[in-house]
Amino acid sequence: MCELLGMECNVPTDIVFSFAGLTARGGRKGPHADGWGLALYEGKAARTFMEPAAAADSPLAIFLRNHPIKTLLAIAHVRKRTRGHVSLSNTHPFCRELFGRHFVFAHNGTVKDVRRFALGRFQPIGTTDSERAFCALLHKLERRFKTYPSSKRAFFAAVSEMGAEIGQKGTFNFLLGDGEHLFARCATKLHHIIRRAPFRQATLADDDFRIDFSEVTTPSDRVAVVATMPLTSDEEWTVGTPGTMWVFGDGKLKATLQSR
């Protein structure tokens, strides 16, 4: 199994604190030593840092902790492989262009029988069920919408419905970014928290790291964080209901959709 981390904010924010918590699980605290990745958006474009190796000891992961990059939208992943060997092409998050923007995707779980879905122009580069499921989702979106959807409601409903369809067999917890929204589907296990004023202190559950958010924020800041398991020990995380998908935008929970 793998662990997911997403962040979506209304002001550029660095993901160092949460990423530290996640990477502590990438080989040192957790059994997720087969790769890690971190995608950071700047507008419609994302850049992805990744390594097919344990995050806990990775010089690049440590570099990113020491040189924080601020962003409005980030998706990270630490991997314990279930399908596909350890390689760069099998390392999440995956990234593809659709509608003139990057879509970024990370998956927790195993999708079964994913070969039954058409992929159209989106061909997998690696051998994971995850990348194939992502390609299937993008192909469905491209067939449904010719351009980036102007109706958020239709867009959100489509992602939710398509996610349920692709994840019908197996376990399809995922994070999907499009540069504006963070889609977070809970098949079995997902949590979120929205940090806003009054900000307070938080302590990582898996690392010797505490932060006082009131010292690094302004009163209008809103930061939504999604993770497979709560990353902090002294905050209240909202537990995801299996079969629901959250959509975050501007640091707010914009929608909660149900589909099975």
Which residue numbers are catalytic? Answer: 2
Task: Kindly state whether residue 60 participates in binding its own copies, applying the rule CB under 8 A.
Answer: yes
Q: Residues in contact with its own copies, total (CB under 8 A)?
A: 30
- CA nearest to 27, candidates 6, 67, 58: 58
Q: Which is nearer to its own copies, 26 or 240 (CB)?
A: 26
Q: Which is nearer to its own copies, 96 or 189 (CB)?
A: 96
Rounded least distance, CB 19 to its own copies, Å = 16
Buried b (16+ CB within 10 A) or exposed e, 51-89: bbbbbbebeebeebbeeeeebbbbbbbbbbbebbeeeee
Is the Cβ–Cβ distance between 248 and 256 less than 8 Å? Answer: no
Q: Which is nearer to its own copies, 44 or 83 (CB)?
A: 44
Q: Which is nearer to its own copies, 134 or 172 (CB)?
A: 134
d(CA 248, CA 254): 5
Task: Kindly state whether residue 48 participates in binding its own copies, applying the rule CB under 8 A.
Answer: yes
Task: Kindly state whether residue 96 participates in binding its own copies, applying the rule CB under 8 A.
Answer: yes
Stretch that binds its own copies, among 26-34, 40-48, 74-82, 107-115 (CB under 8 A): 40-48
Task: Kindly state whether residue 59 participates in binding its own copies, applying the rule CB under 8 A.
Answer: yes
Rounded least distance, CB 180 to its own copies, Å = 13
Rounded least distance, CB 191 to its own copies, Å = 29
Task: Kindly state whether residue 49 participates in binding its own copies, applying the rule CB under 8 A.
Answer: yes
Rounded least distance, CB 243 to its own copies, Å = 31
Task: Kindly state whether residue 100 participates in binding its own copies, applying the rule CB under 8 A.
Answer: yes
Q: Which of 1, 11, 99, 161 binds its own copies (CB under 8 A)?
A: 99
145-204: contacts with its own copies (CB under 8 A): none
Axis crossing angle, helix 59-66 with helix 16-24, rounded to the nearest 10? 150
User: Residue holding tokens 């662990």?
Assistant: 3
Task: Kindly state whether residue 43 participates in binding its own copies, applying the rule CB under 8 A.
Answer: yes
Task: Kindly state whether residue 126 participates in binding its own copies, applying the rule CB under 8 A.
Answer: yes
Rounded least distance, CB 157 to its own copies, Å = 23
**Binding stretches for its own copies (CB under 8 A):** 42-45, 47-50, 52, 59-60, 63, 67, 87-89, 96-102, 121-126, 142
